[in-house]
């Protein structure tokens, strides 16, 4: 049956930033599809809550509390998966971010930090994970979480948008290097209702503007991203690599504009 292609029975995934938001939704979605998961973030209480939901779905979550800005800590997650579960099939790089800042206030160091956090962390885990995927599972699937801001220019997002654009192209380049045994794809979320958008969600005027600027007339849900990740990680997505899946409600222009004075 076609639905069987969306199963992840007895596979093992590492999901970073899994204490809440998109990472938590992806980890839980994978568990509901049959996978065990290594979940990592800085806040143990968040991770324990998600681990409980994974276990309620009948699977096992291995919790790793770590500062995911530390490249060595991120790389160590691959070994943790193999040590706990004996294999590694899937990696979801869901670490990143950078505060909005006017262009002329964005120092070169800000760009370097954004690149290190959004691209360097992904690369650190990819380098550590791929040999273990090949040794324990004869291949695998890597999913990088980028952003619509990586393709849609917006004011005050130079560091963040540039780093996310780099992650999208890193995805395409890595897919060529690692094919045919390891697939590498990305998801570019639009505006998703997580804690990062709490200020917007709580302001009827701002939320209305963003919804109106989105062709589907709503903001995204974490489950929208989880469903896309399941497609890319599962046999259903086995003929995709080097692709960036835009899960953004149809955006062709930014739906959040930060007001800045003209030069």
- pLDDT for 260 equals 72
Render the burial of 101-118: b for 16+ CB within 10 Å, e for the rest. beeeebeeebbebbbebb
- Distance in angstroms (rounded) separating the CA atoms of residues 152 and 158: 11
- Distance in angstroms (rounded) separating the CA atoms of residues 40 and 184: 20
- pLDDT for 43 equals 95
**160 flagged as catalytic:** yes
What band does 254 get if pLDDT is binned at 50, 70 and 90?
A: confident
Please state the domain extents for the chain: 2-245
Across 37-41, 66-70, 191-195, least confident range: 191-195
> Of all residues in the chain, what percent carry a pLDDT higher than 70?
99
Across 25-39, 136-150, 241-255, least confident range: 241-255
- pLDDT for 240 equals 98
The CATH code that applies to domain 2-245 is 3.40.50.720
Which residue out of 160, 175, 246, 251 is catalytically annotated?
160
């Amino acid at each position: 049956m076609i639905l069987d292609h969306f199963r992840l029975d007895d596979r093992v995934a590492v999901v970073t930033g899994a204490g809440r938001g998109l990472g938590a939704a992806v980890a839980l979605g994978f568990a509901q599809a049959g996978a065990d998961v290594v979940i990592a973030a800085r806040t143990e209480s968040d991770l324990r809550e998600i681990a409980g939901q994974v276990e309620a779905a009948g699977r096992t979550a291995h919790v790793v509390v770590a500062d995911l800005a530390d490249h060595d800590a991120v790389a160590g997650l691959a070994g943790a998966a193999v040590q706990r579960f004996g294999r590694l099939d899937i990696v979801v790089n869901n670490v990143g971010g950078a505060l909005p800042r006017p262009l002329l206030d964005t120092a070169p160091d800000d760009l370097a930090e954004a690149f290190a956090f959004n691209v360097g962390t992904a690369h650190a885990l990819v380098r550590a994970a791929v040999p273990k995927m090949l040794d324990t599972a004869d291949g695998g699937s890597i999913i990088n979480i980028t952003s619509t801001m990586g393709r849609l220019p917006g004011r005050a997002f130079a560091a963040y948008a540039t780093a996310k654009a780099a992650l999208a192209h890193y995805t395409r380049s890595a897919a060529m290097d690692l094919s045919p045994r390891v697939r590498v794809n990305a998801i570019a979320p639009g505006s998703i209702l997580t804690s990062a958008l709490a200020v917007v969600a709580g302001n009827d005027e701002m939320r209305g503007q963003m919804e109106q600027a989105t062709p589907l007339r709503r903001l995204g849900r974490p489950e929208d991203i989880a469903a896309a990740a399941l497609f890319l990680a599962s046999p259903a997505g086995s003929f995709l690599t080097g692709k960036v899946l835009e899960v953004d409600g149809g955006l062709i222009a930014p739906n959040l504009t930060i007001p800045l004075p003209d030069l």
